[in-house]
Amino acid sequence: MEGFVLTDPPLDSALAQVLPDAPAWQKSEVPDGGDPSYILRSTRSLPPRSLDVRLRDGGDVEVCFAITGVRGSPFEQLFTVGDLPSPEAAKVVADFVGRILSEELVLVMSRGALKGGREFVKPEDLARRPPSSIRWAASWSGTYDRGLFGA
C-alpha cells in the first residue's frame, strides 16, 4: 500500500469538505523540502485556538489543537495511517478535524491521578460528568468552554 503524503490532493479535498471556507487553511512551507502542514485559526473564540494538521515521519498524521495561554498546549492526536491509501487516510483525518470544527468533539482536561488527563469527548458525555472531575474544557468556537482562564 502507498503511504500517506500530506500534500496529496485528497487531503486538500477532504479538508475542503469539512470547512465552510476552504481558503481559511494556511499551508506552511518548510524550507528544507519537508512536508508542509495545514493550519486553521479560530476567529470566534477566546482564548485564541488553532488546528495544525501535519505529517510525521513514517507517513502518520498529527492533528494539534493549540489553545493560547493554556499550559501544555498544543494537544496532539496521532493518526497511524501510514499504511492506508492516501484518499482513505485523508478522509479519516478530515472527519476528525470536521468533528472538532463542528463542536461534535470537545477537548477536556480531567482531574485525577489515575484517570486524569486530556481527551476528546462528545458534548453530551461532557454534560454527564460532574463539574468537579473537569479541570477545563475547550471547543472550537467556545460553546463548551469551561475553566480555561486560569487553567
In a domain, 129, yes or no: no
Q: What are the tens digits of pLDDT across the range 11-46?
A: 666 666 655 554 566 766 666 656 667 788 887 778
Cis peptide before 74 (omega within 30 of 0): yes
8 contact partners, CB below 8 Å, separation of at least 6: 86, 90
In a domain, 44, yes or no: yes
CA–CA dist 95, 80 (Å, integer): 15
3-state DSSP assignment of residue 24? helix
Grid cell digits, residue 95? 472527519
Q: How many domains does the chain have?
A: 1
What pLDDT does residue 87 have? 75
In a domain, 77, yes or no: yes
Question: How large is the greatest C-alpha to C-alpha distance in the chain, in angstroms?
Answer: 48
In a domain, 40, yes or no: yes
Mean pLDDT of 135-150: 86
CA–CA dist 105, 99 (Å, integer): 6
In a domain, 60, yes or no: yes
Residue 106 φ/ψ, nearest 5 degrees: -125, 135
Whether residue 137 is predicted with pLDDT greater than 60 in this model: the reply is yes
Grid cell digits, residue 49? 485556538
Give residue 72's domain range: 9-101
Mean pLDDT of 50-59: 78
Q: What are the tens digits of pLDDT across the range 95-130?
A: 898 899 899 999 998 886 556 688 899 999 999 988
What pLDDT does residue 132 have? 87
In a domain, 88, yes or no: yes
In a domain, 139, yes or no: no
In a domain, 126, yes or no: no
Q: Which residue has the higher pLDDT, 81 or 92?
A: 92
What pLDDT does residue 2 have? 46
